[in-house]
């Protein structure tokens, strides 16, 4: 089964720089999305095109906002399952913004600003990194900074259609020290999606802080699907 890795807002394929090599070394085939984070519809279409490009069933893996992407892209007929990594898992008619606004603000909110066109700009200061992703190695932080991009507000306000998690099995890796998506909110979404939940005590940046935990859940999902 082909694995498609989908990054979060403002990020890039670099999100999976530690995860993808482990998966490939273990014999898995992997595609890594590099979405522009300007339109949910465009990001969904890009992921669906990655599924179309491979003659195999697919397992979608989404981090953060990437969860909203796979929740919609996962309706593709060859998607077999969904793996959420500290990710948004909206239901029908819900947006990332409506999930965030219906809960108390997460600490991350003080480290984002709006650009002249309404785009969201992340604070790249050392203070922000220590507050939000303290468990990511310094060299990874510096490399990731070179790959970040601003995100359009539209990716947060566009509502979800029929959620793929209502059609496909789901797994969820919950970051218990997350300061981007509150752990309580992660658990609510995971339980609502009927996902098999695993936990790891990391920041929001699980893929860089604990790549082996991400790989373990992906391989658990692959094993469950093979046994079904």
According to DSSP, residue 151 is labeled: B
pLDDT tens track of the chain, all 228 residues?
A: 999 999 999 899 999 999 999 999 999 999 999 999 999 999 999 999 999 999 999 999 999 999 999 999 999 999 999 999 999 999 999 999 999 999 988 888 887 777 777 667 777 787 887 888 899 988 888 787 777 788 888 999 999 999 999 999 999 999 999 999 999 999 999 999 999 999 999 999 999 999 999 999 999 999 999 998
DSSP for 193-227, please give it.
Answer: TTPEEEEE---S-HHHH-HHHHHHHHHHHHHHHHH
**In degrees rounded to 5, what are phi and psi of residue 164?**
-60, -25
- Taking the C-alpha atoms of residue 73 and residue 160, their distance in angstroms, rounded to an integer, is 10
According to DSSP, residue 106 is labeled: P
- The Cα-based distances of 115 to 4, 120, 121, 179 in angstroms read 31, 6, 7, 22
Total-model pTM: 0.95
**93, two tokens:** 């008619």
Which CATH number goes with the domain that contains 61? Answer: 3.40.50.1820
**HSE-CB of 206 using CA atoms within 13 angstroms:** 29
Domain count, the chain: 1
Q: By C-alpha distance, which of 96, 5, 1 is closest to 47? A: 5
- Domain residues for 114? 2-227
How crowded is residue 187: how many other Cβ atoms within 10 Å of its Cβ? 16
């Amino acid at each position: 089964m082909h694995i498609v890795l989908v990054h979060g807002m403002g990020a890039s394929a670099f999100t999976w720089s530690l995860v993808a090599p482990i998966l490939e070394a273990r014999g898995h085939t992997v595609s890594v999305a590099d979405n522009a984070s300007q339109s949910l519809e465009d990001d969904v279409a890009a992921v669906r095109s990655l599924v179309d490009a491979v003659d195999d069933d697919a397992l979608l893996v989404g981090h953060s906002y990437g969860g909203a992407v796979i929740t919609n892209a996962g309706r593709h007929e060859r998607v077999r399952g969904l793996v959420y990594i500290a990710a948004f898992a909206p239901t029908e008619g819900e947006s990332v913004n409506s999930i965030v606004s219906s809960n108390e603000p997460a600490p991350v909110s003080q480290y984002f600003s709006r650009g002249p066109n309404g785009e969201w700009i992340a604070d790249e200061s050392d203070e922000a990194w220590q507050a939000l992703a303290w468990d990511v190695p310094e060299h990874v932080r510096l490399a990731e900074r070179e790959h970040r991009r601003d995100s359009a507000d539209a990716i947060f306000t566009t509502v979800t259609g029929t959620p793929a998690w209502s059609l496909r099995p789901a797994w969820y890796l919950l970051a218990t020290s997350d300061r981007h998506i509150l752990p309580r909110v992660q658990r609510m979404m995971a339980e609502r999606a009927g996902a098999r939940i695993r936990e790891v005590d990391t920041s929001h940046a699980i893929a860089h802080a604990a790549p082996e935990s991400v790989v373990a859940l992906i391989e658990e999902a692959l094993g469950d699907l093979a046994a079904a």
